[in-house]
Amino acid sequence: MLEVKTLDKPDERRDFPRGHLEAVHMTELDFAVATFEPGWRWTESVAPIAGTATCQMHHYCCMVQGRLHILMDDGGETEVGPGDVFVVSPGHDAWVVGDEQVVVYDFEGQTAKEYAKQEYAKQE
């Protein structure tokens, strides 16, 4: 099998306050590119769509641009920046640090299929 798509032409785009997600769906990979503007915070921008207090998705990510602060429900926290590869389990909040736009690649297929999608509210 050989399958190629370009991020310049995503299969779908989901807009939410201060950001958006573009998804590419392939035979064995659902890939997401999330873009967050300065001032974006999950609990303010996506929680109303998801219907949960914190993000309940698992993420496998590579940070491309900007800085993101992540706060876990258990109190653990970190900040990630360009070139960082990170895994975040369900139960977290996150927000943009500083004035630079954040671009993050997410390889966890659930994100590409469900993140900030109205019909998946309460499942996220």
Over residues 5-43, the pLDDT tens digits come to 999 999 999 999 999 999 999 999 999 999 999 999 999
Identify the pLDDT of residue 120. Answer: 53
**Predicted TM-score (pTM) of this structure:** 0.92
CATH number of 12-108: 2.60.120.10
Q: Secondary structure of the chain in the HEC alphabet?
A: CCCCCCCCCCCEEEEECCEEEEEEECCCCEEEEEEECCCCEHHHHCHHHHCCCCECCCEEEEEEECEEEEEECCCCEEEECCCCEEEECCCEEEEEECCCCEEEEECCHHHHHHCCCHHHCCCC
Q: Where are the domains of the chain?
A: 12-108
